[in-house]
Every structure is written in structure tokens, then in C-alpha cells.
Amino acid sequence: MSLSHFPKPILALILVLLAAAVFAPAAHAQAERSPFEAGINYNYVRANGPPGSCQCFSMNGGNIWAGVRLFDGFSAVGEFSGQFTNDANGTGEDLTLYSYLFGPRYTVGKSDRWQPFAQVLLGGAHASGTFEPGLTGGSGSFNSFAMVAGGGLDVTLTNHIGLRAGEIDYYLTRFPNGVNGRQNNLRVAAGLIFRF
């Protein structure tokens, strides 16, 4: 996937967030990280709805998440996300995709400024609109299994605020499509973290 798939305002936002991560002052007295954190992210999804060759299309949206640290870098995380397009696969049809996911996240480093993480979240997805895999016309909605697996980099800005400098996830959904019932999507995200 080339950078030309991203809208220019999205690339500008990503560059600003990365610059803030690099040039922001480190937290003054970094104590042990709080066990509770929550975040809000912008996300971009490169969706692969139709089966076969990649007739991919872009979706924009966001997600909110909350996590509680359990032990040794492991956290339990819950996430709700939503994405939308009004021109799925160049058809002029709309698609809204929601997901609700839960699972473990492993973060390297307890109080360092840079905290890489990896996660696997499982749950469900709901799609609605006029563009639906397996739909022959009109609007409708489907529910399916969903999963994200990937990771990213969090940056501590202060004791209570952090930056999700970047996150890349494989985003699987299992909506009916008349062939294999699987959509292999890519999700890229960035946002803010709040620690309590």
C-alpha cells in the first residue's frame, strides 16, 4: 500500500503527531505508570470487501478504548470503533462499519518515554449501508466475527497524557461475500492517551 492512498489531511495529521512525539518534553517525574488508561484515536481502514483481487477502498473513522494493567506489561483492553465511506469500491454506495473488541495488550517498558506494544483483540463487527458483501441491492445490515492483531508505539508526554504515535493492525471481518466469507483489512491509527 502506497502513501498515495492516504488523503493529504491524514498524512499531515500523522506528521504533526510524530513531530509532537519526538519534540515534546519528557514527563517530569515519571512514576510507575497508572494501571488505568483510555484513549481516543483517528483510524484509517483500507478495506478489502469484495473477494478475489484487491478491489480495495478507504474508510475513515475513529475508536475509543480503555485498558487496565494486570501484570508484567499485560493489560486487558476493550475497544469500540467505527468507520464510514460514502463511495465503497467506486460504486457510490455507503458503508458504515462498527466493531467492539476485547483482549490482551502487551506493552514493553513500565515508565519509559517510548512504549511499543502488541495486541490481539477479538469480538464482533456490524456493517450497515447500501454496500454490503453478499447483498443484491438495497440497504441492510450484518453482524460478524472481528479481530485485530498488530501493534504500535505510545509516547509519554506528561504523567497523565500520552500520544499514540502510530498503530498498525491486521483487521479481519467475516461478513458473507458469496465466496469465502472473509475480509482482510488494514487499519492505521494515531491519537491521544489519558492515564488515571
CATH topology of domain 13-195: Porin (2.40.160)
One-letter amino acid for residue 31 of the chain: A
Burial of 119 (0-12, 13-18, 19+ CB in 10 A): buried
User: DSSP labels for 63-97?
Assistant: EEEEEEEEETTEEEEEEEEEEEESSGGGSS--EEE
- Sketch the domain layout of the chain as residue ranges: 13-195
Residue 186 pLDDT > 90: yes
CA nearest neighbour of 70 among 29, 27, 37, 39:
37
pLDDT digits (tens, 9 = 90+) for 130-183: 876 554 444 567 899 999 999 999 999 998 999 999 999 999 999 887 778 888
pLDDT digits (tens, 9 = 90+) for 93-143: 899 999 999 999 999 976 678 999 999 999 999 999 887 655 444 456 789
> What are the E-state strand segments in the chain?
36-47, 57-71, 74-85, 95-107, 114-129, 140-156, 161-173, 183-195
